[in-house]
Amino acid sequence: MSMRNALLLVCAGTVGMGAALADDSPGLGQELTAAELAAVDFTIMPDGDGLPAGAGNAVTGRDLYNQNCLGCHGENGTGGVNDVLSGGHGSLAGPRPLKTVGSYWPYATTIFDYLRRAMPFQMPGSLSNDDIYAVTAYLLFVNDIIAEDAEIDAESLPQVRMPNRDNFVWGYTPE
Amino acid sequence: MAEQHQTAVAGNGLLDRRIFLTAGVAGGAALLTAQAGGVEREAWMQMPGAPMSDNGAPSAHEAHVKRLAVSSQPGTTGTGVSRTPLEFLDGLITPSRLHFERHHSGIPAINPDEHRLVIHGMVARPLSFSLEALTRYPMKSRIQFLECSGNSGGLIAPEPLQQSCGVLHGLVAASEWGGVPLSVLLDEAGVKPGAKWIIADGADAAMMSRSVPLAKVMDDAIVALYQNGERLRPGNGYPMRLFLPGWEGNACVKWLRTIKVMDQPAMTKDETSKYSDLNEEGIARLFTFPMGVKSLITSPSHGFTMGPAGLYQVSGIAWSGSGKIRRVEVSADGGGSWADAALDEHVLPKCLTRFRSAWRWDGGPAVIMSRATDDAGNVQPTRSAVLQGRANGAFYHYNGIQAWAVNEAGEVANVYA
């Protein structure tokens, strides 16, 4: 099928359900295939929904970190020019709170989500899912949250309980 | 006519605001310095002027009016802020070229013909919208403020930073934002029962992502395409951004690419590790979206030098994420007494409101400040009240009263009062 015909079919489908729309809506949204959706869906939920296949541990994660992350974030996630990623545990209620991945972040899934979206800073999207799981494992390891050889994947990552998990409250409550 | 309102109504020379209601404020009252006249034909009147141009630019004499304190994180470009130069502006609209920026990985060079907005998740029909398609939807346009929740964060410093009004508070701006109500697009996709949140992603290199309550989205969120009558500037999300009136700027995702409808928030990096508010007991609040009631005097402010003793206009901006500004009070004696300021004609919900007071400066030391009240009855708090119970370094959502001290030399400084 040509692209033009495909578009016409999609348009026909859209017009077909247009009757349910408000009178002031032109109903121009194009329906998407599952494959098209998967290509743009980066959302990862705290329960692990959205995590892709793949796995990694802190041993391989260390090498990847040292190649891709150390320049900005320092050795073992501390002492760099940008955000401190490790340490600070127990500091939040003290005079000098240090918010790091280990001391502050409530959900381990957020680490994978953020790395896949935005890191490494100069070349986001350049790491494989295995690589991202490995760097995630390394950041958990340098924060003493998992063992160095623990395999992190779509099953195990949501089960990692972050140390500061219970110290968050919501400022907004949905109806 | 104006003379009758020149009696003080609060300490240290604050005059009745009705001075602004009388004809010819600058007449007998001479609030503004009169221009010297007498030359029959100035140099620029002796020959034809410059031709038209296809792209307007400010006067060359205003070249100093630029975004302030443009800075990026170490080793990066485009991961930081630029600030609105509030001290040079008047009125309520912020010129688009001066609207503050906060980017997380620079400004993407989006081809609008290739960009799509995808709505998916808990919907009956996942849909994709081109920019061209969106321009055919009924739009809404409103003049509203946008404020980064990190605005005024420098005011938590133990000693007052001697920086300008715009450097300290310039992560706020007001624009006419025009676009398609997101509720219309969600209705077209068919939101499923049980949905409570959307996850909005941007098309920048960081794929900035925030979770936003569905109730807010259905209430007044728009997919903004226009800013002050023209298409969005690239630094403000071209070709489309999420705009959530009155809510923290970070949640108004720029370069909007996907909206996933969900029953819970995604707990993204920005909404958990960054834009959350830590208290002194180590407890952090998530999802503190609305921006609090706030005001500040922009003129005179830090860096200004007063002329001779006499009558001056004190002017500033007030806003609230909860609604309209009901009242702004100004003090010239460090909060000892207050006088109502005059509000400019346009007092709009969730928008900057311009206020003005007349002040007879006696040439001596003075501390001037403003205090706003919104139509929900919220009153702008003092600095110490804002900081009460906060963790050290917690700087988001700072809306404390700003004090400026004028000394005998007429110099204006940032002070805590």
CB-CB under 8 Å, B257 with A171: no
Same-domain check for residues A60 and A27:
no
- Percent of chain A past pLDDT 90, that is, above it, reads 84
B194 and B238 in contact (C-beta within 8 Å)? no
Q: ipTM value, please give it.
A: 0.92
Would you say B185 and B127 are in contact if contact means Cβ atoms under 8 Å apart? Answer: yes
| B133 vs A28, A97, A124: nearest CB | A28
The vertex-B112 CA angle with B107 and B114, nearest 5°, equals 110
Question: Residues A27, A64: one domain?
Answer: no
Report the residue of chain B nearest A81, measured CA to CA: B74
Report the number of distinct structural domains present in chain A: 2
Contact (CB, 8 A) for B89 and B170: no
Query: In A, which residues are within 8 Å of B247 by CB distance?
Result: none
Question: Which of A43, A162, A169 should be substituted to probe chain B, the one whose Cβ sees the most B Cβ atoms within 10 Å?
Answer: A43
**Domain shared by A71 and A144, yes or no:** yes
Report helix, strand or coil for B397: coil
Q: Which domain holds residue A7?
A: 3-31
List, in order of start, the domains of chain B with CATH numbers: 116-285 (3.90.420.10), 294-415 (2.60.40.650)
Q: Are residues A92 and A160 in the same domain?
A: yes
pLDDT digits (tens, 9 = 90+) for B42-95: 999 999 999 999 999 999 999 999 999 999 999 888 999 999 999 999 999 999
**Is a pLDDT exceeding 70 seen at residue A6?**
no
What residues of chain A lie within 8 A of the CB of B190, using their CB? Answer: 20
- In a domain? residue A129: yes
Q: What's the CATH code of the domain at A111? A: 1.10.760.10
My answer on whether A95 and A135 are in the same domain is yes
The answer as to whether A23 is a domain residue is yes
Q: In whole angstroms, how far apart are CA B405 and each of B42, B97, B359, B381, B414?
A: 39, 30, 14, 19, 6
Residues A11 and A62 in one domain: no
In terms of C-beta density within 10 A (0-12 exposed, 13-18 middle, 19 or more buried), how is residue B333 classed? middle
Residue A21 within a domain = yes
Query: Do A105 and A152 share a domain, yes or no?
Result: yes
Residue from A24, A25, A36, A112 whose CB has the most chain B CBs within 10 Å, to mutate: A25
Tens of pLDDT, residues B13-30: 999 988 876 644 444 444
Tell me if A105 is assigned to some domain.
Answer: yes
Task: Work out the mean pLDDT of chain B and round it to a whole number.
Answer: 94
Same domain (yes/no): A25, A73: no
Tell whether A11 and A59 lie within a shared domain.
no
> Does A38 map to a domain?
no
Q: Which residues pair with B406 in a beta bridge?
A: B366, B412
Residue A43 falls inside a structural domain: no
For position A173, what pLDDT does the model report?
A: 85
Q: pLDDT digits over B371-396, tens only?
A: 999 999 999 999 999 999 999 999 99
A41 in a domain, yes or no? no
Residue A74 shares a structural domain with residue A118: yes
Q: Give me the pLDDT at residue B40, please.
A: 84
> Bridge partners of B127?
A31, B119
pLDDT band at A62; cut points 50, 70, 90: very high
Contacts of B218 (CB under 8 A, 6+ apart): B182, B183, B186
Tens digit of each residue's pLDDT, chain B (417 residues): 345 567 889 999 999 988 876 644 444 444 544 455 566 899 999 999 999 999 999 999 999 999 999 999 998 889 999 999 999 999 999 999 999 999 999 999 999 999 999 999 999 999 999 999 999 999 999 999 999 999 999 999 999 999 999 999 999 999 999 999 999 999 999 999 999 999 999 999 999 999 999 999 999 999 999 999 999 999 999 999 999 999 999 999 999 999 999 999 999 999 999 999 999 999 999 999 999 999 999 999 999 999 999 999 999 999 999 999 999 999 999 999 999 999 999 999 999 999 999 999 999 999 999 999 999 999 999 999 999 999 999 999 999 999 999 999 999 999 999
Same domain, A64 and A136: yes
> What pLDDT, on the 0 to 100 scale, is given for residue A148?
98
The answer to whether residue A8 sits within a structural domain is yes
Number of Cβ pairs < 8 A linking chain A and chain B: 177
Do the Cβ atoms of A168 and B286 come within 8 Å?
A: yes
Do A22 and A71 fall within a single domain?
no
